Amino acid sequence: MTDVVLDGVDKVYPGGFEAVRNVRLRINDGELFVLLGPSGCGKSTILRMIAGLEEITGGDIWLNGSVANDLSPRDRNVAMVFQEGALYPHRTVKGNMMFPLEVSGDDRAEAHAKVLELARALGINTMIDRLPRTLSGGQRQRAAIGRALIREPSVFLMDEPLSSLDAGLRTELRVEIAGLVRSSGTTTVYVTHDQVEAMTMADRMAVLRDGVLEDVGTPEQIYADPATVFVAAFLSSPPINLLQATLWAVEGEGLLLDFGPQRLTVPWEDARASSLISHHGQSVIVGIRPDTLMPIAPGTPAAPGTVLSGQVRALEFHGHEWLAYAEAGIPTVDAAEIGRPHRPAPAAPERPGLRDRVRELLGRPNQVGEAVEEEHAGHHRRSDLVFRIAPGNRPNRGDHVALTVDLDRVLFFGANGRRVNPVLR
């Protein structure tokens, strides 16, 4: 039975950079828990603090019911796999997997049987006599996972173990890793910046931004009911429409979302009306995922206050669907700018990581919002509404389209980026 509790954990690096702030988290025994966030948000720092490889500067880490702040990594019984699982180059796969058991003086025959069994589960049993350099990236990662799991750690920590693999292999391995750690029942903390990996693998997950926890829950909870604009945007592909509105409570009509040239109306019967009314006269951010907008044929009747319209400016073919970008004259907001904690930006850290430095060299942005914006750079930048179209039904560029909005699935955030109505967990 091993649960991991982070109780108000802080990390300030020498030089004063605050990488992690007041993180409170309980990872339950046997859970596959994912830490998700953009590069530099502090995911690896948290993992390394759990492993004991990095000192914490505030709060407590509890392992299995005891404070572990001062325990050495060896005494924590945790195992860790990194992005490039480092294997001993002169040992075979079997030699690598045997090594932890040799160190702890296990019976050789038993150790051998155990290695074979795990290698089989990892699908590398036919290559256990090969050296790491003769393996593919995916096979090396499997061997590294095998070496980490062989001595049955209480906690298994994985830091972006799939990020150096190609997309097909990543998909294949994430299914296998999730299956393997679930069947072993080992409490696992898995770090990634890939939202698909997080949502498909996690029992529960946490979203981090600038060293602060923005949201914790099951993938379904976080996707359907995100706590902040940042979380909604980070977990949305294609990107969520984030529209700026002023909210007016109008007797007899409902709650008017005034976008300037267009309006929507939330009826009084809506369960969220009592929360929304406290924002009367204020700015709100309206989050509409592309699949919440449904194109309707011209002249089709629709309930008043449920339709937005625009002129199609660009279309993208995605195989199973088209994505359309329509100019609607509605001001949009950039999730990266909303609700940012006040602190020095991590743009110039004391010790930039290798990836930070490479990004700098390539001129790539480091923050998620900027990355999202960059994806839309160029021809989509000025577009206001993104929506999906089933194949065979697509409008043409320049067409005016009417879109019904599924109001039940629209998300409302205050100007500070937090949800207007309480988040259900």
Ligand X SMILES: Nc1ncnc2c1ncn2[C@@H]1O[C@H](COP(=O)(O)OP(=O)(O)OP(=O)(O)O)[C@@H](O)[C@H]1O
**352: contact with ligand X by CB under 6 A:** yes
What is the rounded distance in angstroms from the CA atom of residue 260 to the CA atom of residue 283? 12
Q: Which of 65, 329, 353, 422 binds ligand X (CB under 6 A)?
A: 353
CB of 196 to ligand X, least distance (A): 16
| Torsion sign over Cα 211, 212, 216, 219 | negative
Binding mask 16-55 for ligand X (x = CB under 6 A): -x-x-----------------x-xxxxxxx----------
Give Cα separations from 310 to 37, 400, 405, 410 (angstroms). Answer: 33, 6, 13, 18
- For residue 408 the two structure tokens come to 């039940």
CB of 347 to ligand X, least distance (A): 9
**Residue placing its CB nearer to ligand X in the complex, 1 or 347:** 347
CB of 105 to ligand X, least distance (A): 35
Let me know: does 325 contact 312? Beta carbons within 8 Å.
yes
**Residue placing its CB nearer to ligand X in the complex, 13 or 248:** 13
CB of 352 to ligand X, least distance (A): 5
**Residue placing its CB nearer to ligand X in the complex, 208 or 286:** 208
Q: Which stretch binds ligand X (CB under 6 A): 134-142, 223-231, 328-336, 342-350?
A: 342-350
Let me know: does 208 contact 175? Beta carbons within 8 Å.
no
Q: Which stretch binds ligand X (CB under 6 A): 24-32, 298-306, 349-357, 402-410?
A: 349-357
Q: At what angle do helices 108-121 and 137-149 cross, to 10 degrees?
A: 130
Residues near 68 by Cβ (< 8 Å), separated by ≥ 6?
52, 61, 62, 76
User: Across 236-393, where does the E strand assignment appear?
Assistant: 241-250, 254-258, 263-266, 283-288, 293-296, 307-317, 322-327, 385-389
Nearest to 157 by CA among 89, 77, 218: 77
**Residue placing its CB nearer to ligand X in the complex, 16 or 378:** 16
Residue type, 31: E
CB of 161 to ligand X, least distance (A): 12
Binding mask 53-92 for ligand X (x = CB under 6 A): ----------------------------------------
- For residue 209 the two structure tokens come to 């931004």
CB of 205 to ligand X, least distance (A): 14
Three-state secondary structure call for residue 48? helix
CB of 222 to ligand X, least distance (A): 18
- For residue 293 the two structure tokens come to 């907008």
**Residue placing its CB nearer to ligand X in the complex, 15 or 89:** 15
**Residue placing its CB nearer to ligand X in the complex, 83 or 125:** 83
Binding mask 354-393 for ligand X (x = CB under 6 A): -xx-------------------------------------
**Residue placing its CB nearer to ligand X in the complex, 144 or 286:** 144
CB of 144 to ligand X, least distance (A): 17
Binding mask 299-338 for ligand X (x = CB under 6 A): ----------------------------------------
Number of residues that bind ligand X (CB under 6 A): 21
Q: Which of 226, 287, 346, 417 binds ligand X (CB under 6 A)?
A: 346
- Alpha-helical runs (H) found in 292-412: 354-362, 368-375
Which contiguous run of DSSP H or E holds residue 56? Answer: none
**Residue placing its CB nearer to ligand X in the complex, 102 or 350:** 350
What is the rounded distance in angstroms from the CA atom of residue 224 to the CA atom of residue 243? 18
CB of 210 to ligand X, least distance (A): 9
Residues near 358 by Cβ (< 8 Å), separated by ≥ 6?
none
**Residue placing its CB nearer to ligand X in the complex, 41 or 243:** 41
What is the rounded distance in angstroms from the CA atom of residue 151 to the CA atom of residue 381? 51
CB of 359 to ligand X, least distance (A): 9
Q: What is the footprint of ligand X within residues 199-228 (CB under 6 A)?
A: none
- Alpha-helical runs (H) found in 209-260: 219-224, 229-234
- Interior/surface letters 407-419, b for 16+ CB within 10 angstroms, e for the rest: beebbbbbeebbb
Binding site for ligand X (CB under 6 A): 13, 15, 17, 19, 37, 39-45, 193, 346, 349-353, 355-356
